Structure 1
Amino acid sequence: MVPMSEILGQRTTSTSDCKPRRAAPAWAVLLAVCAGQFLVVLDVSVVNVALPSMRSALGLGESAQQWVVNGYALTFAGFLLLGGRAADLFGRKRIFVAGLGLFTAASLAGGLAQNPTMLITARAVQGLGSAILAPTTLSILTTSFPEGPERTRAIATWSAVGAGGGAAGSLVGGTLTDLLSWRWVLLVNVPVGAVVLVAAALFLTEGRGTTVRRLDIPGAILVTGGVAALAYGIAETETHGWSSPHSLVPLVGGVLILALFTAVEARAAQPLVPLRLFTVRSVASANTVLFASGAATFAVWYFLSLYMQQVLHYSPIKAGLSFLPHTIAIVAGSKLAPRLMSRLDSRLIVACGGAISAVGLVWQSRVSADGTFLGIILGPGILAMFGAGLMMTPVAAAAMSGVGRAEQGLVSGLLNTSRQLGGALGLTILATTAASRITARTQAGASTASALSSGYGLAFLVSAAFLAAAACLAMLLPKPQPHEV
């Protein structure tokens, strides 16, 4: 059991805070935080398999169908930094509960949606709740467990749960869509969210930095607007191409807004993102690795789901169940990593994980119209996801060990932002690449199944290149100190 002082972190001072409170068991803190993380990551991919059913039920057009996914991704990526900083300044438990409550309410609204506008709006609010919630999960862990093996094991569990949530999205979405309806893909969050809210109220205690400061509202508006514009422009390239004003205007606007944000932060007395953090080697290198790996791994679920349903003609539930070995593999890699960290250089573990994952995706690029589960899905998927799991814990541990307690939430937000933006950019590049290959193969007279397989195969091959780059970038991480392993 973790000592009470380590679980409570820095407590706020008030007249009601004078009465001692008994510390919650370490497992209870870990369970509550990981459950919140699972919900956040699950909803990144859970709707993918359910989109055809949503389209039929609500009459979604092609653009509306795209925004069911992008509405969540944009607000999630855009507000992560604000959520992380708010947790540091106003209390991690308070922000955790607020984010989870908003996410749960938006899930209910989305599950009961009667038209496309209601559904897309609910998904956008879900993303906002996730952005508030996600950074607090890691910062609560790093301020509740002492630096060293105990914290490493806690982060490993958090990484495994997050990885499992992303991997389980297709499984959960396919199962619920086939057995109940697409609405339960969203409604399932309501009872789970309610239980986690109760657990948070019982087991989490308030903690924040020792000095309470005002939130940097101008910085928050600029970084949110810049990231959102950039993500919107990236999303638009899939429909209009990179040279279209539909894409260029938000992309250029996003870059200019982020440049203005940098200038404002450099002059602010109490900035949202202290620019000195980017001079911390552990923070800068970890975010670079996560950006590169996110560009590859987010797209794997998307393209593999399309391949199984559009080429191999799997049902939603069969496609979801086919991801089960992937889920087990990524969780296994996440749990093995801390054991290896006690014996090996963390940088070597990240590099090996990226290399293993890249090999799996090169194998996966051999998808064909007559592919089989055993021959082209199982083996490559296990390699790719096991390697991805190995990378997560040492990268997160390296980043969080390089900053003070009062900035844990901010760095957690940066890590999530890098991963989400890498995923958004990577998916867009890969989708454009795959579409070009599919069009070329179709015009050359190939069958639909053959053209689709060729396009998806190229996407997997480019994903492997992203992961190979992440493996090389791992050597930029700082060498771990003895207490970190």
Structure 2
Amino acid sequence: MSTNEPATSMRADAATAARPTASHDPHHGRRWLALGVILIAQMMLLLDATIVNVALPSVQADLGFSDAARGWVVTAYLLAFGSLLLLGGRLADAFGRKSMFVTGLIGFAIASALAGAAPNISTLITARAFQGGFAAIMAPAALSLITVIFTDLKELNRAFAIFGAVAGSSSAVGLMLGGLLTDYAGWRWTMYVNIVFAVVGVIGSLALLHNTADGDRPKLSMPSTVLGSAALFGLVFGASRAETAGWGSTITLVSLIAGGVLLIGFLVLQRFDRNPLVPLRVLADRNRGAAYLTLFLGQAGVFVLFLFLTYYFQGTLGYSPLMTGVAFLPMMLTIIVIATLTQNVLVKHLTLRVIIPGGLLIGGTGAALLAQTGIHSPYAAWVLPGLILAGVGIGSAIVSAVAVGQLGIAPRDAGTAGAVNNVFQQLGPALGIAVVSTVVATATSHYLGAHGSTAALSATMHGYSVGFWWAAGAFWAGAVLSVALIRSGTRLHHEADQPEPLDEFVGGII
């Protein structure tokens, strides 16, 4: 057993000392039902992103807008969501997690109704921006509610396992649901369906959730709020523009450089601000830092895989959106099984310094295997094993990283930690897809230049392969950083008399 274990356990004990006991916790008796309500809202957010992407061609045909405007249907949401997440997290800490959660649900439903009824592209883009803003209020509140509702750390592990399994499987469900709604009900129902989720979520929230009474609720700082939001806006906008305008364009460079400079200024300000938007104590812990970097790199790899696999299934193999969702199902089922196994079994025998890097190594191996696929590769022989290995990595490493990002956090900072968690999960895919899309386009162009225009399909497949290798690299880079940063002996929970037969053996290897 590592000599650092007692210190790690003491830190966990100190952090959980402020948690309400079961007898004083108003959520305790119906905590699993409360988790169900949170999952409904989270599923709504995750389904929405995939459904909209599937429906975009039909939306464009109906409203008659340009390809350039089409990108803003996605970008408007991402800009509002990414830039307002830190504010949303602090609002949950300051004004109550239930209050902000319900506000986010209601606002998201109204914005979805506006988007579904949009008569033109301007209205649709505006509605999507409002959706992103209310999502930024709701998402941090959801994570922080889980953190404060489950006072027993073993149950908290299970709750995060369920949360991660639902999050991981929502993309495939979104593909299938988006295809069904677009084909049989019309694209407007891809927006209206959010209202159903939101109504159920609001009713459940009013019945089951409570605003916990934190005695030292933080106040909001206007300078920190403006600076932090502007920094994230610059980074997300720059990454979005890089996909369409290129990395060398003036607007891309100015946005990214300004976002980076503002982010540095924001972090400096947090040290001196009496009411910081993100207290540095949230970021200073090595384990949480490792978790956030894992989420940044791991989610970048995941979304790159999703993007180019979707292109491969639909563009190369000719799958429909519905069949594409079915093709992803083995990965999603693997995520559900592995997330449950990890949080209920593996955490009892292995430390997080083993689980997270190990999962990322396996996920990277899956991405590398997908890089070997060709135009005529059998799905069962090449694609399926890669999907399953990637699912193992997501279900173990990334789900665990979400939990570690909230580990040891004081209740007054739970919303902020949830926001930071979400920020890294958003910035990773935004920057990762922008970078890898550019690399893939260059690789495809070079292949065409070397082999001629008759090799267009092979060139496209070569580009996909390059993209999968970059996804593998993101997973493996996360593995290296996490094993270097996570403290030896760190666990999601620990019992003094619990046997640990595998810890020293596996820990010694890594």
Q: Same fold (TM over 0.5)?
A: yes
**C-alpha distance in 1 between matches for 2:23 and 2:459:** 60
Deviation per residue, 1:207-255 (Å, 9 max, x gap): 2532133212221121111111111111111222212102111111212
Give, in angstroms, the shift of residue 481 of structure 1: 4.8
Q: Does 1:176 align with 2:181?
A: yes
Q: Does 1:467 align with 2:483?
A: no
Map residues 352-431 of structure 1 onto 2, 5 A cutoff. 352-431=358-437
**C-alpha distance in 1 between matches for 2:83 and 2:356:** 27
Give, in angstroms, the shift of residue 7 of structure 1: 4.3
Query: Is the Cα contact below 8 Å between 2:47 and 2:174 reproduced in 1?
Result: yes
State the partner residue of 2:320: 315
The amino acid of 2:490's aligned partner reads: P
Give, in angstroms, the shift of residue 195 of structure 1: 0.9
Q: Does 1:458 align with 2:463?
A: no
Structure 1 unaligned residues grouped into runs of 5+: 9-22
Aligned equivalent of 2:284, options 274, 279, 283:
279
**C-alpha distance in 2 between matches for 1:62 and 1:385:** 33
**C-alpha distance in 2 between matches for 1:447 and 1:314:** 22
SS at match of 1:321: helix
State the partner residue of 2:251: 246
The amino acid of 2:372's aligned partner reads: R
Query: Is the Cα contact below 8 Å between 1:361 and 1:461 reproduced in 2?
Result: yes
Q: Does 1:437 align with 2:443?
A: yes
SS at match of 2:405: helix
Aligned equivalent of 2:490, options 476, 480, 484:
480
The amino acid of 1:271's aligned partner reads: P
Give, in angstroms, the shift of residue 403 of structure 1: 1.9
Aligned equivalent of 1:267, options 262, 272, 283:
272
**C-alpha distance in 2 between matches for 1:181 and 1:451:** 35
The amino acid of 2:22's aligned partner reads: P
The amino acid of 2:486's aligned partner reads: L
Bigger shift: residues 245-254 or 85-94: 245-254
**Cα 1:283–1:140, aligned 2, differ >3 Å: closer, same or farther?**
same
Map residues 118-267 of structure 1 onto 2, 5 A cutoff. 118-207=123-212, 209-267=214-272
**Cα 1:156–1:6, aligned 2, differ >3 Å: closer, same or farther?**
farther
**C-alpha distance in 2 between matches for 1:278 and 1:142:** 17
State the partner residue of 2:6: none
The amino acid of 1:266's aligned partner reads: R
**Count of residues in Structure 1 that have an aligned counterpart in Structure 2:** 470
Aligned equivalent of 2:80, options 75, 81, 86:
75
Give, in angstroms, the shift of residue 4 of structure 1: 5.1
Q: CA RMSD in A?
A: 1.9
Aligned equivalent of 1:30, options 31, 35, 39:
35
Give, in angstroms, the shift of residue 418 of structure 1: 0.6
Q: Does 1:329 align with 2:334?
A: yes
Query: Is the Cα contact below 8 Å between 1:398 and 1:477 reproduced in 2?
Result: no
Deviation per residue, 1:131-173 (Å, 9 max, x gap): 1101111111111111421111111111111222234332222
Give, in angstroms, the shift of residue 262 of structure 1: 2.4
Bigger shift: residues 125-134 or 369-378: 369-378
**C-alpha distance in 1 between matches for 2:493 and 2:243:** 46
Map residues 51-90 of structure 1 onto 2, 5 A cutoff. 51-90=56-95
Query: Is the Cα contact below 8 Å between 1:177 and 1:317 reproduced in 2?
Result: no
Bigger shift: residues 422-431 or 102-111: 102-111
**Cα 1:291–1:461, aligned 2, differ >3 Å: closer, same or farther?**
same
Give, in angstroms, the shift of residue 70 of structure 1: 1.7
Give, in angstroms, the shift of residue 265 of structure 1: 2.1
Bigger shift: residues 54-63 or 77-86: 54-63
Give, in angstroms, the shift of residue 280 of structure 1: 1.4
**Cα 1:100–1:24, aligned 2, differ >3 Å: closer, same or farther?**
farther
Q: Does 1:5 align with 2:24?
A: yes
The amino acid of 1:433's aligned partner reads: V
Deviant stretches of 4+, over 3 Å: 481-485
The amino acid of 1:25's aligned partner reads: R
Give, in angstroms, the shift of residue 100 of structure 1: 1.0
**Cα 1:131–1:163, aligned 2, differ >3 Å: closer, same or farther?**
same
Structure 2 unaligned residues grouped into runs of 5+: 1-20, 496-510
Aligned equivalent of 1:304, options 294, 305, 309:
309
Give, in angstroms, the shift of residue 429 of structure 1: 0.8
**Cα 1:109–1:482, aligned 2, differ >3 Å: closer, same or farther?**
closer
Task: Report the TM-score when normalising by structure 1.
Answer: 0.92
Bigger shift: residues 443-452 or 123-132: 443-452
Task: Report the TM-score when normalising by structure 2.
Answer: 0.88
Query: Is the Cα contact below 8 Å between 2:157 and 2:492 reproduced in 1?
Result: no
**C-alpha distance in 2 between matches for 1:95 and 1:70:** 24
Give, in angstroms, the shift of residue 174 of structure 1: 2.2
